[in-house]
Homo-oligomer: A and B are copies of this chain.
Amino acid sequence: MPEGPTLAELGETELIRRLGAFAPLGQFGDDAALLGPALLGPAGGGDLQLVLNTDVLVEDVHFSAATMVAWDVGWRAAAANLSDLAAMGCRDAVGLTVGLVAPGNTTWAWVEEAYAGLTQLLGAHGGVLLGGDCSGGRQRLLAITAIGRLPGDRGGPIRRGDAQPGDQLVCTGAHGLSRLGLAVLRGEALPALAPAVQERAIRAHRRPVPRFDAVAALGASRPVGLPWRVAGCDSSDGLAAAASCLALASGCTALMERQAIPLAPELEGLAAAEDWCLWGGEDFELVLALEPTWAAALVEQLPGTRCIGHMESPLPEGPLVWSDGGEAIPAPSASFQHFG
């Protein structure tokens, strides 16, 4: 009986595209789900907009006992999830639920440490553990669903598809350090690194921080009279993936300035520096497309933020090109495959 393609053959992007057909049009287009008045109904008071985000983190796919203790697994799972709330325009978290799956021989000590790390990160951003479920299973995993609020009249949603030609492309911090940390933890071949550099890199990998502060700065730096329109997502899948994703969702091309890529200084001199900055992933910064005066005000106000390019009408070279010469920026040959 012909059963059609497997998930490994489809790949994650195509799988998500197909699953999106089961949801209302546009519902699968962002980092997380936006619940506005149409979904929450009149009891929502009209003003309330919620953001709901689900992430599944599977052992040996998203985390490994070789590179992380349980406390870091919990912290990182919560941080990655809350980063998606920030990427939608939330300034804090209401809370989250955890679906815990683990083999019966998992120790309580491991679970306790993971929840301690998770609630530590969560509490630092206004959220509480709301509930959850647990079950035995062959592999440890955490299925986390976080809920947040948009800040009402202080700021609207950040959507992937809201960029326009002429917008500046801005990112809120340096990139590549998390990937360097992973390389150190895995014992990949590297030139000698100062202990302090290794420590910073490992910390970036194990203890990412969701950029709610950047969303607050975004609201505070909006020029008077300028309507709320911000395109954005987080850089969890890599800086270049984020820029490409904004461009595709908005029907634009993102032009990145090669001299302006936000390379973490710790990567300077490494052969993989540019690759890790663009595609390393898991830096959990925000990548935004903004009207130029707003972009300039944000860069002025929020240290570490910089312009890395701009958006144009779609070019035949594709969604992501270098601004000098207009050459397409290719995806790395070995991109991350969850169903590999």
Bound Cα distance A114, B235 (Å): 31
Taking CB atoms, residues of chain B closer than 8 Å to A141 are 101, 137, 141
Q: Which of A41, A106, A134, A143 has the most CB of B within 10 A?
A: A143
Contact between chains at A340 and B136 (CB < 8 Å)? yes
Q: Are B99 and A55 in touch, CB under 8 angstroms?
A: yes
Q: Are A56 and B107 in contact (CB under 8 A)?
A: no
Beta-carbon contact of B340 and A104 below 8 Å: yes
Judge whether B138 and A139 touch: CB under 8 Å: yes
A146's closest neighbor in chain B, by CB?
B145
- A interface residues, how many (CB within 8 angstroms): 82
Q: Note all chain B residues with C-beta closer than 8 A to A95.
A: 33, 35, 39
Closest B residue to A15 using CB positions: B134
Cβ contact of A99, chosen from B18, B56, B100, B130, cutoff 8 A: B56
Tell me, rounded to whole Å, the shortest Cβ–Cβ distance linking A201 to chain B: 25
- B108 pairs with A5, CB closer than 8 A: yes
Stretch from A22-30, A174-182, A273-281 forming part of the interface with B: A22-30
**Chain A residues close to B by CB (< 8 Å):** 3-8, 10, 12, 15-16, 18-19, 22-24, 27-28, 32-33, 35, 39-41, 43-48, 50, 52-58, 61-62, 94-95, 97-112, 115-116, 118-119, 128-139, 141, 143, 145, 147, 149, 152, 338-340
